Structure 1
Amino acid sequence: MSVPDTEATVGLKAFPVGEDAAGTRLDQWLAAKTAPDLSRNRVQAIIRGGDVRIDGKVVREPKARLVAGTVVTLGMPEPEPAEPEAETIDLAILFEDEDLIVIDKPAGLVVHPGAGNWTGTLVNALIHHCDLSLSGIGGVRRPGIVHRLDKETSGVLVVAKNDLAHRALSDAFADHGRTGDLERAYHAVLWGVLPRRAGIVDAPLGRSGTDRTKRAVVPEGRPDARHAVTHYQIVEKFGPKADATAFASLVECRLETGRTHQIRVHMAHVGHPLIGDQTYGRAFKTKANKLPDDLKFVVGEFPRQALHARLLQFRHPRSGEILRFEAPYPPDFAELVEALRRLPFE
């Protein structure tokens, strides 16, 4: 008698077994077929849970040996929700009331638990800090993340503490300030200088074809292409001349859309990646070798992408008041800017 599909199964994948796989352990073979999405331990748990079949028959033994000519069907279960624990982590709080909290996020702090970062995140810290003042998002006592900053990006970030704030702020961030009062500005330090004092980078983003963790500018017609627009304005240029030959520049960026790594990818796309960006600007690091010795280390070994969320403005979801917050440069970012200002001018 066949065993019914489990309620948690949301997708099926079928894998024919070839002659070369005959006699191979089921768990080992499936782990190789699904890498890197599923680990061998995860595959074993799925098998034991009854979500793997061979020619339609459920197999619960990870050590089962394969037979050529059969078909292995893998049911992809619904991922189990993470249950972040409260953790004591210092936060730089700019504002807090019953509806929301605004913090100055340091570089190195992950916003939300995920693969490789299940603890030590901003969410873990907020669950501890807010405690019973969290009235819940969707009936669960947890903070409502309405926007994110990359782990190594510093600056202003707002989090909702209840459903009212979560809905209102989510709508505002989805609109990106086109019709409302939301305003966001980032400061970035770039290699070289952009060709115009102010401009727009309008280029769709999608997954990189060489690395699934990266984003890239892709053709508009590609299925995963997402509209992405970044407005920029040069704030300051750094030696040897305050012209197109400048060694580096400080730029303010404002987002018309909010895609993953948008500023970093767009600036690299136009030939001026962020200083310290090991993902999108690694090839530019050797430019620091041209600097005087006292500046070479500060610039060349800057440990993260030089990106800081400088400004955040939004309308309070309950009072209707316009709130505006600015975060000063953190010490490492300020040191980088000051070092570049010491570059000699001709």
Structure 2
Amino acid sequence: MSFDDTEESEELFEHHRLVASPNQELVRIDKYLITFLPNVTRSKVQAAIREGYVLVNEQSVKPNYKVRPDDEIVVSLPTPPRDTEVLPENIPLNIVFEDDYLLVVNKPAGMVVHPAYQNWSGTLVNALVYHFQQLPHMQGNEGRPGLIHRIDKDTSGLLVIAKTEPAMSGLAKQFFHHTIERTYLALVWGEPEEPQGTIDVHLGRSPKDRRVTVAFPKGDVGRNAITHYKVLQSLRYVSLLQCQLETGRTHQIRAHMKYLGHPLFNDALYGGSEIRKGTKFTKYKQFVENCFKLLPRQALHAKSLGFEHPVTKEQLFFDSELPEDFQAVLAKWEHYVQYN
């Protein structure tokens, strides 16, 4: 959904209709709406309210209006809403494993997992719908057939996809109980003080920028998030880490590593696209910028995936090679450290 469409129009199309609960606490309507509507910012919500696109009990309101119990809120926009139908697209898939119940794919960096605002096509789900018929949906997850989990657009690596309802249910339970084994490789700035450890710090959306996940060390805000890490290779300026997820929060590794003071290499959203270790002299700066060009994304790869087959109960484990861009940058750092 987007509030960007502000052209004059004789007709408005209803996008969302929400009814506040009978025991709803008083809360500003702009804050209330960003809690329930996907992929919108508070500023866009406020703009939509000022344009008259948001009605409460059939009346226009101001952004500071306090939502009350049983309020009916309707959001209408000049453009018709998109439905949840996913259009099939003939996009090649790198299938690592497949049987009658599930498949494991190796997603390339740059591919969005499912359609969403600004990415309605070219996604992994568009490809899945083309190659497979009647993929199941999780409840409340319409428009994302077969998906039990996801990885970020610019993260490469392994994903498991359900082909049947029993497979989806069985895999979802394993994710819920944290029994899925997920290992990532991450190139981070600097060298962690401890060669291995566990980051057990709550994570939640940043109140300043909802695109970003931030740490809440006191644990009274956000959701619990646990990442186990181990240094595989120290390269003075950067380190190659193995990260194992116990939970699966949005941007978990990226946010935890920033909290640790070692953001992922070239992770623009979390401060890793700046030089965080080493001098800023021209020669070194040019070297780092060349690395950024080789790997124009955060250095994160979902390397392995292990779980119990939801139907046959067989223990399955899948591993993958680092993609070429990641390997190339790692090799450049190894060479740089050896000769400088």
TM range (shorter): 0.7 to 0.9
SS of the residue 2:111 aligns to:
coil
Distance 1:159 1:107 in 2: 18
Counterpart of 2:249 in structure 1: which amino acid?
R
Distance 2:239 2:320 in 1: 20
* Residue 257 of structure 1, CA deviation: 1.2
The answer for the alignment partner of 1:285 in structure 2 is 275
Distance 1:252 1:74, change over 3 A: same
- Mapped pair 1:211 → 2:192: no
The answer for the alignment partner of 1:252 in structure 2 is 242
Counterpart of 2:44 in structure 1: which amino acid?
P
Distance 2:159 2:144 in 1: 16
Alignment of 1:107-126 (within 5 A): 107-126=109-128
Counterpart of 2:18 in structure 1: which amino acid?
T
- Mapped pair 1:229 → 2:226: yes
* Residue 298 of structure 1, CA deviation: 3.4
Q: Deviations over 1:147-198 (max 9, x none)?
A: 1101100000001112101111011111122xxxx21100000111111111
* Residue 253 of structure 1, CA deviation: 0.3
SS of the residue 2:167 aligns to:
helix
1:9 to 18, 21, 24: 18
Q: Is 2:114–2:144's contact at 8 Å kept on the other side of the alignment?
A: no
Count of residue correspondences: 295
- Mapped pair 1:36 → 2:29: no
The answer for the alignment partner of 2:289 in structure 1 is 297
The answer for the alignment partner of 1:321 in structure 2 is 314
Q: Is 2:215–2:255's contact at 8 Å kept on the other side of the alignment?
A: yes
Distance 1:326 1:148 in 2: 17
Distance 1:272 1:93 in 2: 33
* Residue 51 of structure 1, CA deviation: 6.2
1:187 to 185, 188, 193: 185
- Mapped pair 1:151 → 2:153: yes
* Residue 110 of structure 1, CA deviation: 0.9
* Residue 91 of structure 1, CA deviation: 1.0
The answer for the alignment partner of 1:265 in structure 2 is 255
* Residue 203 of structure 1, CA deviation: 1.0
The answer for the alignment partner of 2:174 in structure 1 is 172
Distance 2:230 2:27 in 1: 51
Q: What's the TM-score, normalizing by structure 2?
A: 0.75
Distance 2:89 2:249 in 1: 29
Q: Deviations over 1:91-114 (max 9, x none)?
A: 111011221111000111111111
Counterpart of 1:102 in structure 2: which amino acid?
V
**Same amino acid, percent of matched pairs:** 38
Deviates further, 268-277 or 211-220? 211-220
Counterpart of 1:331 in structure 2: which amino acid?
E
Counterpart of 1:306 in structure 2: which amino acid?
A
Larger radius of gyration: 1
SS of the residue 1:147 aligns to:
coil
Distance 1:262 1:136 in 2: 24
SS of the residue 2:199 aligns to:
strand
Counterpart of 1:210 in structure 2: which amino acid?
K
| C-alpha RMSD of matched pairs (Å) | 3.5
Distance 1:330 1:38 in 2: 42
Distance 1:269 1:315, change over 3 A: same
Alignment of 1:330-345 (within 5 A): 330-345=323-338
Q: Deviations over 1:236-275 (max 9, x none)?
A: 111xxxxxxx111100000111111111111111111110
Distance 1:176 1:297, change over 3 A: same
Counterpart of 2:208 in structure 1: which amino acid?
T
Q: Is 1:275–1:299's contact at 8 Å kept on the other side of the alignment?
A: no
Off by >4 Å, runs of 4+ in structure 1 = 12-16, 38-47, 77-81, 135-138, 286-294
Q: Deviations over 1:133-160 (max 9, x none)?
A: x36666x896221111011000000011
Unaligned 5+ runs, structure 2: 1-15, 30-40
Q: Is 2:85–2:143's contact at 8 Å kept on the other side of the alignment?
A: no
Distance 1:221 1:319, change over 3 A: closer
Distance 1:74 1:130, change over 3 A: same
Q: Deviations over 1:116-141 (max 9, x none)?
A: 11211111110001125x36666x89
* Residue 220 of structure 1, CA deviation: 3.6
Q: What's the TM-score, normalizing by structure 1?
A: 0.74
Counterpart of 1:145 in structure 2: which amino acid?
L
